[in-house]
């Protein structure tokens, strides 16, 4: 039996609860509703534990380094977002999750702040050096984040009003 720690343990617990909920849904709606409520509580508790220390962006950019221009290639940024594994925590559309990484787009923080945080994160995100993800590639990822459309307002979604 493998030993899990921290975030991986919480993710596996949540996945097991969700799988159990799917199986029990076939048994009856009441049991399923109760189980889904338990899953929601466990998910919220896990999110609170994992996000107890919110990530803070430190110094925007080193003074000795010239600022990277925000003009990047959004299509290449989408490709890099997947290639570099950003989607694994932040979702394929950078929508974020209460269990893993925060929402990144649309309307991302300034590029200089993203570069500073990627190089020296304060949360659970691992640091990425310029050799791993150059500033030019981060500018492309930033262009992708800026290109993301805003979600529709909740009042325009009929399913939410039934």
DSSP per residue, the chain: -----HHHHHHHHHHHHHHHHHHHHTT-HHHHHHHHHHHHHHHHHHHHHHTSS------SS-TTSPPPPS---HHHHHHHHHHTTTHHHH-TTS---SSSSPP--SSPPPHHHHHHHHHS-SSSSPP--TTTS-HHHHHHHHHHHHHPPPPPPGGG-GGGG-
Q: What is the pLDDT of residues 66-116, one digit of tens each?
A: 455 557 899 999 999 999 999 999 999 999 988 889 999 999 999 999 999
> Is pLDDT at 136 greater than 90 in this prediction?
yes
- Cβ atoms within 10 Å, residue 53: 9
Q: What are the structure tokens assigned to 152, written together?
A: 């529709």
pLDDT band at 58 (very low <50, low <70, confident <90, very high): very low
pLDDT (0 to 100) of residue 91? 94
pLDDT (0 to 100) of residue 161? 80
pLDDT (0 to 100) of residue 120? 95
Range in 45-54, 57-66, 86-95, 127-136 with the lowest mean pLDDT: 57-66
Residues 6+ apart with CB under 8 A from 120: 58, 127
Q: What is the pTM of this model?
A: 0.57
Q: Taking all residues of the chain, what is their mean pLDDT, rounded to a whole number?
A: 77
Mean pLDDT of 10-26: 59
> Is pLDDT at 34 greater than 50 in this prediction?
yes
The Cα diameter of the chain in Å comes to 64
Q: Which of 30-39, 50-59, 132-141 has the highest mean pLDDT?
A: 132-141
pLDDT band at 10 (very low <50, low <70, confident <90, very high): low
């Amino acid at each position: 039996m493998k030993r899990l720690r921290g975030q991986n343990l919480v993710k596996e617990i949540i996945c097991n609860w969700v799988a159990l909920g799917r199986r029990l849904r076939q048994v009856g709606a009441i049991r399923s509703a109760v189980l889904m409520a338990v899953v929601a509580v466990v998910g919220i508790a896990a999110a609170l534990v994992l996000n107890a220390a919110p990530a803070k962006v430190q110094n925007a950019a080193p003074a000795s380094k010239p600022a990277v221009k925000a003009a990047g290639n959004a299509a290449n940024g989408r490709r890099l977002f997947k290639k570099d594994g950003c989607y694994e925590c932040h979702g394929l559309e950078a929508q974020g999750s209460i269990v893993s990484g925060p929402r990144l787009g649309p309307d991302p923080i300034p590029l200089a702040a993203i570069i500073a945080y990627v190089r020296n994160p304060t949360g659970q995100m691992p640091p990425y050096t310029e050799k791993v993800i150059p500033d030019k590639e981060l500018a492309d990822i930033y262009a992708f984040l800026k290109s993301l459309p805003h979600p529709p307002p909740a009042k325009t979604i009929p399913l939410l009003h039934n």
